[in-house]
Every structure is written in structure tokens, then in C-alpha cells.
Amino acid sequence: MNAVPKTIRRRTWWVLWSLLAATAIATSGLAVPPYLTGDPTDSTMSLNPDVAAHYLSIIVHAVPGGLALIIGPFQFVGGLRARYPKLHRIAGRVYLVCVVWAALASLVAAVFSISGLAAQMAFVILAAAWTYTGVQAYRAIRRGEVALHRTWMIRNYALTFAAVTLRVYLGVGLLLQGAFPSLTFSEVYTASAWTSFVLNALVAEYFIVQRTLRPRARHGRADAEDSGPTAVAVVGATAGQRA
């Protein structure tokens, strides 16, 4: 009886994974190349004309950030992890190094940004959370806590994926400007900056709960029924996720 739901869940997972991987690769492929030329006029972001380091910080953010965006989805494929464990570890190290470089550079870019204080604060918080979750993921795997490592990596990649959702929300916001002429680009950009990672973080937490608390709760209820009416099902909150 559980075969059909399991098949549906597996197919749904692959559809969502394919969408995530495709949009991540496409975003990286479109967003990174302009910063490989070394020409500030190719920048797709507004640069601070008074700070030459602003452009450099964006390059250091965009290039490793784009690489992390591409690597991330493949780290969650269980079959690849099982078949190529050494490659998974190497790719994981490269990913985390890219995240740290990109996050630190984004802090500098945010400080010099001319997008306004509200948007600057969004990017500063994102950079801090991005770094923190990456460090926690690394610490967990160094302690051998694989399940906890995966949980932190889900959170971390949700923040990495903000590069994609930022552009999606920005596009939607620009379309809304046609219906609401009073809506300024600054307002659209600021709202997009915040929602790009806040909503991603909420989705990540929902996914983590669904993959940990809910399965344990179901198993707990089944054990209680098998053991009789006096059995007590204990639900754990730290079970591992299958990618």
C-alpha cells in the first residue's frame, strides 16, 4: 500500500530537484559571465562610483557564489553520494570555500552598495546567515554527525539559492510596476532582497520538518499501535534526511 505514495514522492522529488538544478545553472550561467571580463561597464549591478573596491567585491562574490550555486543541487543526490563518496567530500569542501568567499565579499559589497539602507541590511543579514550555516554544516560533519550536517546544508543552500529567487521576485516586481505606477524600483528591489532569502529559509525549515519530525511521528504511532494501547511513541527531532 505504501509503494504508490513512495513512487509519487520520489517522482515529485526528482521534478523539484530538476527545476532547482536547472534554474541554479541557468542563473549562474547568466549572472556570472559579465564579471569575468574585468570591465566595470559589463556589471549588471549599479556600482558605487566613489568606491573602486565595490566592483572587485562583486566579482569575488559572483564567481565563487555562482560555482556554489551549481555544485549545491548535486550534493543532495543520495545516489551520487553513495557511489562517489570521495567526490562528494571534495565537492563539499569546494562548495563551502566558495560560500565563505562569496559571503564575505557580499558583506563588503553590501556596505558600498547604493541600493539604500533597507536593501543593504537584507544583504548583510543574508551574508551572516550564509556564513553561519556553512560553518555549522562543516562543524557537524567534522564531528561525524551526518544527519545534522545535511540539515545545515539544506539551510545553507536555501540561502545560496537566494541568487535565483532574488531575480524571480525582482522580475515579478518589475511587472507589477506596470499595474502600480507608484511602485518605485527601489521598493521593488528592497522587497525582493528580503523575500529572496526569508522565504527560502522558511521553505527549508518546512522541508526539514517534513523529512524529520513527520516521519518519526508516523513511525512512533505505528510502534504504539503494534505494542498495544499502553505503548508510548517518542518522536525525535534530529533524524537524518535522505537526499
Across 28-44, b (16+ Cβ under 10 Å) vs e yields: beebbebbeeeeeeebe
pLDDT tens digits, 48-97: 999 989 999 999 999 999 999 999 999 999 999 999 999 999 999 999 99
Confidence at residue 242, expressed as pLDDT on a 0 to 100 scale? 39
Q: How far apart are the first and last CA of the chain?
A: 23
What is the number of structural domains in the chain?
1
- Is 8 among the domain residues? no
Query: 3 is written with which cell numbers?
Result: 509503494
- Is 58 among the domain residues? yes
Q: What percent of the chain has pLDDT over 90?
A: 76
Q: What is the mean pLDDT of residues 232-237?
A: 31
Residue 160 to residues 2, 7, 61, 134, 214: CA-CA distances in angstroms? 34, 29, 11, 10, 26
- Is 236 among the domain residues? no
- Is 241 among the domain residues? no
Confidence at residue 211, expressed as pLDDT on a 0 to 100 scale? 79
CATH number of the domain enclosing 38: 1.20.120
Cβ contacts of residue 38 below 8 Å, gap of 6+?
A: 59
Confidence at residue 235, expressed as pLDDT on a 0 to 100 scale? 28
- Is 225 among the domain residues? no
Chain mean pLDDT for the chain? 87
What's this model's pTM, rounded to 2 decimal places? 0.84
- Is 223 among the domain residues? no
| pLDDT confidence bin for 10, thresholds 50/70/90 | confident
Under 8 Å between Cβ of 77 and 17:
yes
- Is 93 among the domain residues? yes
- Is 18 among the domain residues? yes
pLDDT tens digits, 154-209: 999 999 999 999 999 999 999 999 888 889 999 999 999 999 999 999 999 999 99
pLDDT tens digits, 118-147: 999 999 999 999 999 999 999 999 999 999
Q: What's the domain range around 78?
A: 13-214
